[in-house]
């Protein structure tokens, strides 16, 4: 799928209104169909045998009262429930970071719950307008009113489930696990079963190319840009990668030779947005996990157990990466390099995972010790000497931080013992 289309679909997933609006439209159509079935005598109330009717069998006044009660109560519950939800999310954002609210707004379950409440309200209104009393040529859509009763019962069940869901979803362990799953999916999607082409040595600088676009680089259509470069017989070297903020006028690429149409090719291949996206940014979920850990280690919260949980989940992601290869960012066509674009390597991934946590946990032997344990476990799973060397580098940084900030000699001796993995 085209990278720009995928970025557009991800932006649509961030829209909290999309699924609720779809459910409301579906409920409006369902109400209209139910009324039509009754007017067309396809289905509905059998006046000749009222005892055999399993649905609503009352009159027009009762139907109006019932539909009015359903509409007013459901819209009131929807407003109250989501007011409480916003208050709970505000408290959670203070502990885990406001950027994680994106995970709550993207949650399809939250969107579907709102859609059910609003859809029931819309259904009741669309059916209520068709109920007529004797003075108005009596008409009662019994089938449609029965549907309103069913939707009201569904709303009650949804309310009970939603209270449970929101109470568990703001739990920090639930949030860490959800972001960890996103990270594991990113590792699986952005890693390779076989090593990629090696990155060539930096040659002489090419012609710098800038575009008027600015914002966060969300996606790069590397295949399309490599095909274009191959047809023009040039090599394009990008300077930015997904997740970077690009100011206006910054040179985005270098081209090995002067060629027409490079600005248009870059504009078609690069997708910018107002915020970072997880589409091609392997470090997106890593930064979210790091923010949880850093906030947990702040003096105002002082929750080292959450930081340890984050470190453990990051270690699991590295273990999943042990049998995979990270892309090198080199694309060739017919044996000739056409595109080189920066990507996250193993060292950069470890830096994104552990630098901030180590810096904020410098005075906590418990967190530092657990980081060393995680490095040791990953090293036992990892078979690449270069990757084990990266883990040893971070272990040395942990020991250096401990020697500087850990006051107890016994704690320091324990950390140095754990370093020997």
- The pLDDT of residue 117 is above 90: yes
CA-to-CA separations, 58 to 50, 54, 72, 186, in angstroms, rounded: 10, 12, 20, 56
Mean pLDDT of 105-126: 91
φ, ψ of residue 330 to 5 degrees: the values are -110, 125
Q: Using an 8 Å Cβ cutoff, are 216 and 277 in contact? A: yes
Q: Give the mean pLDDT of the chain.
A: 86
- The pLDDT of residue 418 is above 80: no
Give 3-state DSSP helix, strand, coil % of the chain, rounded to 5. 65, 10, 30
Query: What is the value of pTM for the model shown?
Result: 0.82
pLDDT in tens, 356-414: 999 999 888 899 999 999 999 999 999 889 999 999 999 999 988 888 877 677 766 77
Confidence of residue 140 (pLDDT cuts 50, 70, 90): confident
pLDDT at 295: 92
Confidence of residue 276 (pLDDT cuts 50, 70, 90): confident
More confident site: 305 or 42:
305
Confidence of residue 29 (pLDDT cuts 50, 70, 90): very high
- Looking at residue 98, the DSSP 8-state letter turns out to be G
What does the DSSP assignment read for 355-369? HHHHHHTTT-HHHHH
Mean pLDDT of 287-299: 92
pLDDT at 419: 72
- The pLDDT of residue 94 is above 80: no
- The pLDDT of residue 50 is above 60: no
- The pLDDT of residue 48 is above 50: no
pLDDT at 203: 66
Confidence of residue 100 (pLDDT cuts 50, 70, 90): confident
pLDDT at 170: 81
Query: Token pair for residue 261?
Result: 């149409």
pLDDT at 52: 47
User: What are 216's strand-pairing partners?
Assistant: 245, 273
Chain centre distance of CA 339: 29
Mean pLDDT of 95-118: 83
Mean pLDDT of 270-277: 87
Query: Token pair for residue 116?
Result: 């059910």
């Amino acid at each position: 799928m085209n990278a720009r289309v995928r970025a557009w679909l991800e932006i649509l997933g961030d829209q909290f209104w999309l699924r609720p609006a779809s459910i409301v439209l579906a409920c409006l159509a369902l109400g209209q169909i139910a009324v039509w079935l009754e007017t067309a005598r396809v289905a509905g109330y059998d006046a000749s045998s009222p005892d055999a009717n399993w649905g609503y069998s009352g009159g027009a006044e009762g139907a109006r009262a019932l539909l009015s009660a359903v509409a007013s109560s459901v819209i009131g519950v929807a407003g109250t429930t989501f007011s409480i939800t916003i208050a709970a999310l505000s408290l959670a954002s203070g502990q885990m970071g406001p950027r994680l609210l994106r995970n709550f707004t993207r949650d399809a379950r939250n969107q579907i719950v709102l859609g059910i409440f609003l859809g029931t309200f819309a259904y009741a209104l669309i059916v209520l307008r068709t109920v007529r009393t004797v003075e108005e040529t009596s008409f009662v859509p019994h089938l449609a009113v029965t549907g309103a009763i069913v939707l009201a019962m569904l709303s009650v069940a949804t309310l009970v489930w939603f209270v449970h869901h929101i109470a568990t979803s703001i739990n920090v362990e639930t949030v860490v696990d959800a972001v960890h799953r996103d990270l594991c999916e990113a590792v699986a999607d952005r890693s390779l079963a076989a090593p990629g082409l090696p990155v060539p040595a930096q040659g002489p600088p090419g012609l710098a190319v800038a575009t008027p676009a600015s914002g966060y680089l969300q996606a790069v259509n590397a295949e399309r840009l490599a095909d274009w470069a191959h047809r023009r017989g040039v090599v394009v070297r990008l300077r930015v990668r997904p997740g970077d903020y690009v100011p206006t006028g910054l040179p985005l690429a270098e081209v090995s030779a002067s060629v027409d149409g490079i600005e248009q090719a870059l504009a078609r291949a690069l997708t910018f947005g107002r915020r970072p996206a997880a589409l091609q940014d392997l470090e997106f979920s890593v930064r979210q996990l790091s923010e949880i850990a850093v906030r947990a280690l702040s003096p105002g919260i002082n929750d080292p157990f959450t930081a340890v949980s984050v470190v453990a989940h990051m270690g699991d992601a590295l273990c999943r990466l042990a049998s995979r290869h990270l892309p090198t960012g080199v694309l060739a066509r017919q044996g000739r390099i056409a595109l080189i674009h920066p990507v996250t390597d193993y060292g950069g991934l470890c830096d994104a995972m552990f630098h901030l946590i180590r810096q904020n946990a410098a005075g906590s032997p418990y967190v530092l010790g657990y980081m060393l344990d995680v490095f040791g476990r990953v090293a036992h799973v990892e078979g690449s000497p270069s990757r084990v060397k990266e883990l040893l580098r971070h272990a040395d940084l942990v020991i250096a931080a401990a020697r500087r900030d850990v006051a107890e000699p016994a704690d320091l001796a324990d950390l140095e013992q754990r370093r020997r993995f």
